[in-house]
Structure 1
Amino acid sequence: MAHPSSAPLTLSAVGPLTGRVRVPGDKSISHRALMFSALAIGTSRIEGLLEGEDVLATAAALRAMGATIVRDAGGWSVDGVGVGGLLQPANALDMGNSGTSTRLLMGLVASHPITATFIGDASLSKRPMGRVIAPLSQMGADFTASPGGRLPLMLRGLCPAIPITYKLPVASAQVKSAVLLAGLNTPGITRVVEPVATRDHSERMLRGFGAEVSVETTPHGKIISITGEAELKPQHIVVPGDPSSAAFLVVAATIVPGSDIVVENVGLNPTRAGLFTALRLMGASIEELDRRDVGGEPVADLRVRHAALTGIEVPPDLAPSMIDEYPVLFVAAAFATGRTIARGAEELRVKESDRIAAMAAALGAVGARVTEIEDGLLIDGTGGDPLPGGATVATLLDHRIAMSMAVAALHCRAGITLDDASPVATSYPAFFDQIAHLRGAAA
């Protein structure tokens, strides 16, 4: 699933964004919907699944381990193999660019009596997997990884695995989920201690599938417990719109004068909505319309209008609920009045790229005043004026860098060229078409 040859793309400002648009399905929920459906006994239905490359990598891996996954006119159907029923894959599992696929599937395989080799593209192969290897090794899985705990990586699962209590050393929904997924096929109770809350899609959805999951709040954080040897029941899942995808459109409408858009069906799980909180603290106009509940997840349509932003010190406790959105927050800050201090984002150093360094370089190249610090950026904004633009920026095979700088280009005096726009297909294949639609509606 390597990317095709690079696809440079130049974008420039052409006036306000107006109209309505619907973002693709939530990526985190899409991955989990496929995985849990593959472990249920019977047929599950999934509507609104994100059909980006990352989620399709998950589907392909699950097919290779015995699940039947089919797309039809009404969405997707998954015939599961049951907990403990994953089969030995005949070939290496190609994760493409998807860290979520890799880490969560490692959790699934760890408590099955099978061996799987995980491979990925050049970007994914640079990302460390040690944070997942450590707890899964305690449960009995055996790993042969490339230097630095990286891909390619061979995992030999153990069945029965050993239930553990694992305290997360850093906030990570992926590590938490990997341990819980390994615990599904492990006798006894597996526990994860979470000092700082992270996205809770796994806990919500596992309960929906019939797993016995409990969450206890203590002075030391949350303790999430799962009872193993579970029997999952098939479900009908409606995937809400991805707030991480919506973030790019929300920031675009906020910074481009005259803009007024509605982004439909956005998931607003409180463990994912930190960016919207931060933008409102800066003065953004984000109105929730028709707030409702879809499949256990809060959802609303967001009306976003251009607004003058003021720099803030981003509250550190927001970091886990907006870690993927920091790059586009940096873009918003570049157009604010005054300084924005964005700390607590150390995890960005080990994403698809070093997103702190990548965004510092990209924003600096188009004229923003940016200072890089170890765990974030200090950004002195333009006060709402356009940035100079007129540069080619490196996207580093990272979809969020590419989309963030595409948003920045919408309020620059001269165009910005992305050296490679193709990684956007990993999470938001229709992104550029939807931007064009909103710009066209303004004409």
Structure 2
Amino acid sequence: MSTSPTSRRFRASGPLRGTIAVPGDKSISHRSLILGALAVGETRVTGLLEGEDVLATAAAMRAMGADIERTGDGEWRIHGVGVGGLLQPDAALDCGNSGTSARLLMGLVASHGITATFTGDASLSKRPMGRVIEPLSQMGAGFTPSPGGRMPLMLEGAHPAVPITYRLPVASAQVKSAVLLAGLNTPGVTTVIEPVPTRDHSERMLRGFGALIEVSEEDGERVIRLTGQPELQPQDIVVPGDPSSAAFFMVAATLVEGSDLTIRNVGMNPTRAGLVGVLRAMGANIEELDPREVGGEPVADLRVRHATLKGIEVDPALAPSMIDEFPVLFVAAALAQGTSVTRGLEELRVKESDRLATMAAALKTVGAQVEEREDGLTIHGTGGEPLRGSANARVKTHLDHRIAMSMAVAGLASRDGVEVDDTSPIATSFPNFIALLDEVTR
């Protein structure tokens, strides 16, 4: 990531028109690299997100012995080492800004007979790792973390690890995936119980690679059982467009009058597509064209046209299916008619920034009426009138890519424009975001 902040003012412009494709899904990109590196033979991936977060995962898997090469734009080849075949890395595994890289790779290392040090940037080093340390310690891994269970930390893998049954205390696909990845190289059956379902890319992809995995519904909870030590088969993976990246353009096209934008090849996995339903409930005009399945994942092209929004109360049960999209939903709510209420969002306080506090402050800076509570925001919309903007103030993003992109969208629906203090973190998940925004608003 760039060390010197790059500020930029985003202003109202013409309607968003045309057809675009957003970068590949971040969650699926991470997992395709990791599982490809554990398969025996050559896995080919097209549409891989080449943001800094995913490249951190690629570098870590290389450091542990996998042969990973980029063969073209979004096209990668991976020659795996086999389950159990990871090598001792020579240096620390630098996860940059990526909580997904850190937590998934900890799961992977936890059941191998190797020791690894995990480091990250200033933002990642503040994020809690206790939620993965706890179950992985139960499996036999040893951790020496920084104070507060944070990074940098040293992890000593257990070989053999012990299979566990673990009920997730907090809805987290990263924790679930860490335990399942540890379970791959653990004899016996590793079980994860989800009281609230989270994104299921790991289960779908593990099954695709040939892992022995069963998912069932028991007493209203999702139960995932993985039998360890399979040989994974290499795959050809087509990564769908990231719904979390498409979200910014969905909201922008909804808010800006005259917009008619088609976003191609967006992943519509029901554990991820909560935002589409919530925006429609607010009155958004989002049409799914050519729904199809690619590599076990549902995909569609989304046509989004300008619409007037009304405030709603968002069902807290939807939170896991759109956890990363709340910052840009808050922008939509700020321009809706009436009041929007969100609850059950404590998880947003431990993302790249405290996203509740950061978005509340950012939206107030540009003239929105926002009340912050412990578990969500109440936002009183402008009724479609543009936000005031930030004529004399920079919006603080706290090194958070999703805050930066959300406030860029707010700038398109403001009178004075919105100056974002630092756009450089956007490269972690959506390197061509600004170029694409400029292209569709010309």
Shorter-chain TM-score category? over 0.9
Matched, 1:297 2:319: no
- The amino acid across from 2:61 in the alignment is L
Q: Give the Cα–Cα distance (whole angstroms) in 1 for the partners of residues 430 and 258 of structure 2.
A: 25
DSSP-derived class of the 1:412 partner: coil
The residue that corresponds to 2:400 in the other structure is 398
Q: For 1:146-165, list aligned pairs within 5 A.
A: 146-165=146-165
Matches within 5 A, 1:59-208: 59-73=58-72, 75-208=75-208
1:10 is aligned to 2:3: no
Q: Deviations 1:402-441 (Å, cap 9, x if unpaired)?
A: 000000000100011111000000000000000000011x
Q: Report SS of the residue matched to 1:389.
A: coil
Q: Measure, in 1, the Cα distance between the counterparts of 2:86 and 2:149.
A: 24
Q: SS of the residue aligned with 2:68?
A: strand
Which residue of structure 1 aligns with residue 325 of structure 2?
Answer: 325
Q: 2:420 aligns with which of 418, 423, 432?
A: 418
Structure 1 residue 220: Cα displacement: 4.2
Quote how far apart the aligned CAs of 1:216 are. Answer: 1.2
Moved more, 185-194 or 213-222: 213-222
2:216 and 2:299 mapped to 1: Cα distance? 25
Match of 1:55 in 2: 54
C-alpha separation between the residues in 2 aligned to 1:299 and 1:429? 22
Misfit runs of 4+, over 6 Å:
none
Shift of 1:14: 1.3
How many residues get paired?
439
Shift of 1:3: 3.4
* Paired AA for residue 362 in structure 1: A
In structure 1, the residue matched to 2:23 is 24
Identity within the alignment, %: 70
In structure 1, the residue matched to 2:353 is: 353
The alignment's TM-score, normalised by the length of structure 1, stands at 0.98
C-alpha distance in 2 between matches for 1:316 and 1:290: 30
Task: Note the alpha carbon deviations across 1:271-327, whole angstroms, 9 max, x for none.
Answer: 000011110110000000111111110000000001000000001111110000000
Paired residue secondary structure (2:3): coil
Measure, in 2, the Cα distance between the counterparts of 1:330 and 1:148.
Answer: 30
Query: Structure 2: how far apart are the matches of 1:57 and 1:138?
Result: 27
Give the 3-state SS of the residue equivalent to 1:20 in structure 2: strand
Report the Cα offset of residue 179 of structure 1: 0.2
Q: After TM superposition, give the deviation of residue 219 of structure 1 in Å.
A: 1.2
Match of 1:407 among 404, 409, 430: 409
- Alpha-carbon offset, residue 4 of structure 1: 2.6
Partners of 2:344 and 2:254 in 1: how far apart?
24
Q: Deviations over 1:118-173 (max 9, x none)?
A: 00000000000000000000000000000111100100000100000000001110
How far the C-alpha of 1:230 sits from its partner, in A, is: 1.2
1:219-234 alignment runs, 5 A limit: 219-234=219-234
Amino acid at match of 1:31: H
**In 1, distance between residues paired with 2:5 and 2:276?**
32
Q: Which residue pairs with 1:246 in the alignment?
A: 246
Counterpart-to-counterpart distance in 1, 2:12 and 2:199: 35
